Structure 1
């Protein structure tokens, strides 16, 4: 939605209104002209017909009932069609998250990025010492690796569960409750006396920690306009890659000097601090929730029960949203675009988590390094991710330039314009993997396999951002389900690949990694396929957006 220039005209009961003024709304517009709002309809429940019905509900004040409540600082008038005082965002409404200052928006964006980093960090930090639990509980390496597998499986469950609850209760309550549960269940891992306790606590933490990963994208959409959102989303999307690669670095040194249990204690302290800061600093941003709170406040202040939001006039049951959240991602998964993008992102996510166990084989077993020193080799991956995120403003500007050619003609830019970064970034990953594979001989310098992480990290984020944008533009009303399908698939891939990475590397450093390099090379065809044939594929789809 575009910005609105005029602030609402304050009501004064002593005003002497002329007949011309009587036919104007409090915003200065004609009564026959619907009031425009700054917030978009929230499509998370993904019912296009219902969303369209809600969008048709516009506030047209009734000229026969121009009275307002003195306690109503927003001076809502009675709507001529519904008979209610429709509570919606007014022009330049300071409580609308879209109208917050850029400083406040960036503060919240960085805070949410730190939360996301913490969640991702928790998935990888325990790999800093996998030998300690193995010896303590007298179990195999594969069983200890399940502490990573089960945590990442939890990431795949979150998108199917938490989004509907956030639509019903708001984002803030979901952030605060799930983060608290996740932090609490770090404790059993730190004090576990058997492997079962450790595994169950990791699974529960993973499920609870997945909520922020699921909701942060929505929170950023609440505060940033579409044309401003690219850079903010780049900050957020870098966190899921930076967190895991920083985990082994920090966890390795903790494990070397304090033991594996202290990895959990440090993670508890750090996560606890972030939780407290999130509770204190992250406000509610969900537009529907904020408007409902305003309506309840006005009913309490004025005693007038006519205050309603348009969403209350067309309510959506939580059970209906749950059905959509649980089943529609699987329906969309069979869509060719969703399926192949999910496959590609599964390969990328699998590679990220594969490094957790491939690096220790190459550097600890092959070169005799400590866990802490091996953790340093993840830094080039992080540098690649950061550099890729730094390019986000330029990529966003390039997209807007290409899209302008369509918007100037009154056309909607095709989703395929989102694929240019993907068509470039896809080549960096196999290049990095081949370098890592064939420089990983124990007798060779550490420089080759270490620096190989840079092109991988750079390519990871270019691919991730472009893939998400392409899915959103391709499926519009069903974007939440398309992204949930992708997230579930990639999480299962990341969880599964760690179970056989060590065995694959023991067969051959060179060919074990080369297999993954060839797979990623084959995936390079996917963005080109959709660039040339994506519009035709969408035209035949039941769910895809065909406004090209």
Structure 2
């Protein structure tokens, strides 16, 4: 079928094309091929002889592929413009980028979890109470929530590499100061500075993943990213306990200093700039040397086939100003607050449990630093295993849900008198916005229920976490009758369910805010860390006042109430 037939069909009442549906044969009046990311508009075409008279619908050759890989493989007919891939990075390059940002995210967890086994020792060294030393955890969590609200928007405007370089410089300097600290006040202040540098790696990494992945693959990639984020939950306390028991608690911060310095060298050498407002799909080369390298090497080595015609690469997204209020506005935007509150409460309860573990296991079971560190392995293993399995299952469930949705739409079209397509002004604006701002290459129509597709499993994780939080508290309450293995096993399930919930909600936020993915992650981080800061500051006073069992029963009750509220709202 000719391009003329497609134009006439569109002119007969169909809605403007969705992202990528302009296809390979459309050209502007001056003959320059329209890029795939151009806003939908009526095509003006030159005369092309019909090859299939009487055809009434667009052939598959004119449909854009759903994924970057298929985009690179679609054959181009003579005189046609090849489809522009969502990203130029091929699978090995994506794997390297995901590995780098996942490793970068480990620093937030290491700085937090490696410190837990040392809490009783640091309290004795500075001659302060456990409640005061727990404030160094609380202050860390507060700045862990606040810092990404600055660095996330910076990375969304100035570039991912710039944000990474700044945050790692701050983090390394703070670690050196902590290793040399002489009093409690210095320790408290430098923990805040350390958190400012490390916490933002989560928001920036989520932004990078949003830059290079489509919706259909994002759940699995986000699961890998969460696993990198949570590896320190398993390894950090073990390393921290061993270092504290053999070399003293200051060796913990010297270890992190060396780790961050070495990794920063790899980050500078291997991580390309991915921000779509600067490099589009990776095919545009920025002028700044900091952003240009090593992107130019990736461009030369990529195996993704790109259009050879000049002007076929997509334009970069519209540049924005740094907006530090962006995460706050996402917190109060339509649809996001219930999910963020749900995630924040579950994360806070989880953090309350693992923060209290060090003191409770020392007091109730008489464990030393190294032994306490070993008890954290179950929590970390549950987090890592859960995030891998959940990420893969999220992708499978999303594809299954999408296929069912598409089948229902096709059935409705076939059964109706005519094809019905959303043509409202608001609907077209949404699709156009996602396209121009580097959104996904699928599911841009308003009819796709993205919330239901992403969040169907969240209630299951919530109920499981509630049950094991209660069991964790009462097992420690009756420690003389119940083996220590029971609360340790509980931490495995608590870690798995808490991180599965976090991965689900974070993937959903990146989906609905594709042009502000780092800011969306920062908003989630802000809420969960502030809630966790409040929880960790009151957990020991509650335990001392009403007991371990009732403390965590109340926590589970709050989780259940939030879940019920979410189900009612949705």
Which residue, 456, 472, 479 being the options, matches 1:420? Answer: 456
Q: Give CA deviations for 1:15-56 in whole Å, capped at 9, x if unaligned.
A: xxxxxxxxxxxx875334884656x7xxxxxxxxxxxxx847
Q: Matches of 2:104 and 2:475 in 1, distance apart?
A: 36
SS in 2 for 1:372: helix
The offset of 1:296, in angstroms, is 4.8
- Residue 396 (structure 2) aligns with: 397
Q: Tell whether 2:123 aligns with 1:134.
A: yes
The offset of 1:274, in angstroms, is 2.0
SS in 2 for 1:99: coil
2:352/2:539 contact within 8 Å kept: yes
Pairing 1:27-426 to 2, within 5 Å after superposition? 29-32=26-29, 35=33, 37=35, 55=39, 98-290=87-279, 294=285, 296=287, 315-316=319-320, 318=321, 321-322=322-323, 324-325=325-326, 327-329=328-330, 331-332=332-333, 337-391=335-389, 392-408=391-407, 409=409, 412-414=447-449, 415-426=451-462
Q: Matches of 1:158 and 1:239 in 2, distance apart?
A: 20
1:128/1:250 contact within 8 Å kept: no
Q: Give CA deviations for 1:202-259 in whole Å, capped at 9, x if unaligned.
A: 1112112122111111111222222222211111123444434532222122112211
The offset of 1:369, in angstroms, is 0.9
Q: Is there any run of 5+ residues in structure 2 with no aligned partner, and where?
A: 1-23, 47-80, 289-310, 411-444
Q: Matches of 1:57 and 1:143 in 2, distance apart?
A: 63
1:134/1:140 contact within 8 Å kept: yes
Question: What is the TM-score with the length of structure 1 in the denominator?
Answer: 0.73
Q: Tell whether 2:496 aligns with 1:458.
A: yes
Which residue, 410, 424, 435 being the options, matches 2:471? Answer: 435
Q: Matches of 1:151 and 1:97 in 2, distance apart?
A: 38
2:209/2:221 contact within 8 Å kept: yes
Q: Matches of 1:354 and 1:274 in 2, distance apart?
A: 30
- Residue 563 (structure 2) aligns with: 524
2:157/2:319 contact within 8 Å kept: no
Cα distance change on mapping 1:487 and 1:295 into 2, 3 Å: closer
Cα distance change on mapping 1:520 and 1:261 into 2, 3 Å: same
Q: Matches of 1:361 and 1:206 in 2, distance apart?
A: 22
1:124/1:356 contact within 8 Å kept: no
- Residue 81 (structure 1) aligns with: none
Q: Matches of 2:497 and 2:95 in 1, distance apart?
A: 26
SS in 2 for 1:98: coil
The offset of 1:375, in angstroms, is 2.0
Q: Which has the higher contact order (CA 8 A, sep 6+)?
A: 2
The offset of 1:92, in angstroms, is 7.0
Q: Matches of 1:115 and 1:476 in 2, distance apart?
A: 21
1:122/1:244 contact within 8 Å kept: no
Q: Give CA deviations for 1:433-483 in whole Å, capped at 9, x if unaligned.
A: 122122222312111111111221221122112222344556667776654
1:238/1:461 contact within 8 Å kept: no
User: How many residues end up aligned between the 2 structures?
Assistant: 448
Q: Matches of 2:453 and 2:91 in 1, distance apart?
A: 28
Question: What is the TM-score with the length of structure 2 in the denominator?
Answer: 0.71
Q: Matches of 1:248 and 1:373 in 2, distance apart?
A: 10
1:419/1:527 contact within 8 Å kept: no
- Residue 484 (structure 2) aligns with: 446
Which residue, 523, 534, 549 being the options, matches 1:510? Answer: 549
Q: Which moved more, 1:323-332 or 1:171-180?
A: 323-332
- Residue 49 (structure 2) aligns with: none
Cα distance change on mapping 1:290 and 1:480 into 2, 3 Å: closer
1:158/1:214 contact within 8 Å kept: no
- Residue 14 (structure 1) aligns with: none
Q: Matches of 1:206 and 1:57 in 2, distance apart?
A: 48
The offset of 1:390, in angstroms, is 3.0
1:114/1:239 contact within 8 Å kept: yes
The offset of 1:149, in angstroms, is 1.8
2:101/2:205 contact within 8 Å kept: yes
Q: Matches of 1:136 and 1:58 in 2, distance apart?
A: 73
- Residue 80 (structure 1) aligns with: none
